[in-house]
Structure 1
């Protein structure tokens, strides 16, 4: 019979790349782990790995079990953590996944009052997911997904939090700084700075440049908003950001904020959760607080 311990072995051998390293993590001797692997393969009637010197490569059957391990083990681990929290009289940890790079500033202003109101709840933020944000929700790696791109999936719920406009940020001394809006053709002459996200998930591409069959003169990626805005202010390029965030930086740096096209690009931020978690009070409280973030609405309406 397939057991949780077997899934842990499959996952750890794949993570570590060898039986020796996996045995150390699992607190087993190498011989004990080798025996477990051999017994599991005999029990299942098929090899799970092919040996290449000291390293091991998963077979097709092994790949299937690895996928099962990556889906099931986080649920076991979360259940155990929550049971311990209940036993200790604690609420738990709210794990927030981010698919919106510029939303960190928004999140900070929501998390601060949330932590004050819920002193027995911790908050953890994750940005990188093995199976994407939706997969992280289904896999119980996170409890809330902050995203501008909700997907209708059975078992998930997406709550709209606030609307915003995607805009272009240029240096204050830029030739376009006095314009009310920019065209795709004008941006084609620029160095476009974005977060390190695939272009098919960047609104400035999907809703502005690509429909016009236009690409920027050059595309750079930068991880942090502060450095990105410093690059723009120093004339190293232009960047697309939510208006509320762009105007915060424009208040203290030599920057100008322009519409992307005459009509602009309207967007909305959603919080994705599992329907099964609807009864968790501290999760519902976070969503309610996020929806009341008046500062975000004020920025959008400016």
Structure 2
């Protein structure tokens, strides 16, 4: 049985990503014949088929699927380790890679990143706005160093800290029939166009905590990618939206939108920062969490 090498894992990933030998070979800077030879040699050494051919595409066997899962877990960690070591060799601290699981979190994050960059001039910040990606998987896989999320999943090896308390509210335009009311009930939205970010309904609090428990759905649901366009639509009477109160307040004076409580008790939420527990003592990572906590204590 041959020992697995990084090149083997890279081949498995490249073939899976592209599905064809030609494209995979280009990514790996190999000729197609060289890649074909490497694949045959790998399967011979392992004593098991890794791929089956379906037309022009290669599909992983059960063994191949397992090896692919190993490659997807290890390659990002090795790449990150190499980058960190290069940074250490150059006298740099490194890069803080932040993943975000919610659209409004980005507006909040900017308020923390600005003073952080001023306090840590030798640390770069990279933000990944992959709103539907698995943040937990990205943390475990070392693809990111810190996760910003309103919905933490507590797992062994990870730790989360709440850094902002906020209320989820309904936002309506200045001439909307509900403008000025203290709170709204689910049935009052049955004839409304609900504008939201393009994420699944099961990740939208206005559905999971407000509408669906009451058996209500809006007349129409319109996904919009950006906050600015969303609130322009709301201000012009094209629909309503559910957003954090602090974000709605930032637009209230400029666009005339109004924030209304969802139900008599409202919907309370928090933004959490998640990190790998083993890295909690890293100075520049710990400093970001501390700065976010201090920002929370000063009103967010």
TM-score range, shorter chain: over 0.9
Q: CA deviation at 1:297?
A: 5.4
Q: 1:174 to 1:246 in 2, by over 3 A?
A: same
Residue 298 of structure 1 aligns to a residue whose secondary structure is coil
Residues 110 and 293 in structure 1, CA contact (< 8 A), matched pair in contact too: yes
Residues 170 and 241 in structure 2, CA contact (< 8 A), matched pair in contact too: yes
Q: Which residue of structure 2 lines up, in the alignment, with residue 265 of structure 1?
A: 267
The counterpart of 1:102, out of the listed 95, 104, 117, is: 104
Deviations 1:45-70 (A, max 9, x none): 22111123432122222111111111
C-alpha distance in structure 2 between counterparts of 1:129 and 1:34, whole Å: 37
Q: Which residue of structure 1 lines up, in the alignment, with residue 219 of structure 2?
A: 217
Residue 206 of structure 1 aligns to a residue whose secondary structure is helix
CA RMSD of aligned residues (A): 1.4
The counterpart of 1:134, out of the listed 133, 136, 148, is: 136
Q: TM-score, normalised by structure 1?
A: 0.95
Residue 102 of structure 1 aligns to a residue whose secondary structure is helix
C-alpha distance in structure 1 between counterparts of 2:298 and 2:149, whole Å: 17
Q: CA deviation at 1:127?
A: 2.3
Q: Which residue of structure 2 lines up, in the alignment, with residue 144 of structure 1?
A: 146
Residues 165 and 267 in structure 1, CA contact (< 8 A), matched pair in contact too: yes
Q: Which residue of structure 2 lines up, in the alignment, with residue 76 of structure 1?
A: 78
Q: Which residue of structure 2 lines up, in the alignment, with residue 29 of structure 1?
A: 31
How many residues end up aligned between the 2 structures?
298
Q: Which residue of structure 1 lines up, in the alignment, with residue 294 of structure 2?
A: 292
Residue 254 of structure 2 aligns to a residue whose secondary structure is coil
TM alignment of 1:93-242, pairs within 5 A: 93-128=95-130, 132-242=134-244
For structure 1, the 5+ residue unaligned runs are none
Residues 102 and 131 in structure 2, CA contact (< 8 A), matched pair in contact too: no
Deviations 1:229-254 (A, max 9, x none): 01111111000000000110112102
Deviations 1:4-59 (A, max 9, x none): 21111000111122111111111222211111100111122221111234321222
C-alpha distance in structure 2 between counterparts of 1:99 and 1:128, whole Å: 7
Q: 1:260 to 1:131 in 2, by over 3 A?
A: closer
Q: TM-score, normalised by structure 2?
A: 0.96
Residues 201 and 207 in structure 2, CA contact (< 8 A), matched pair in contact too: yes
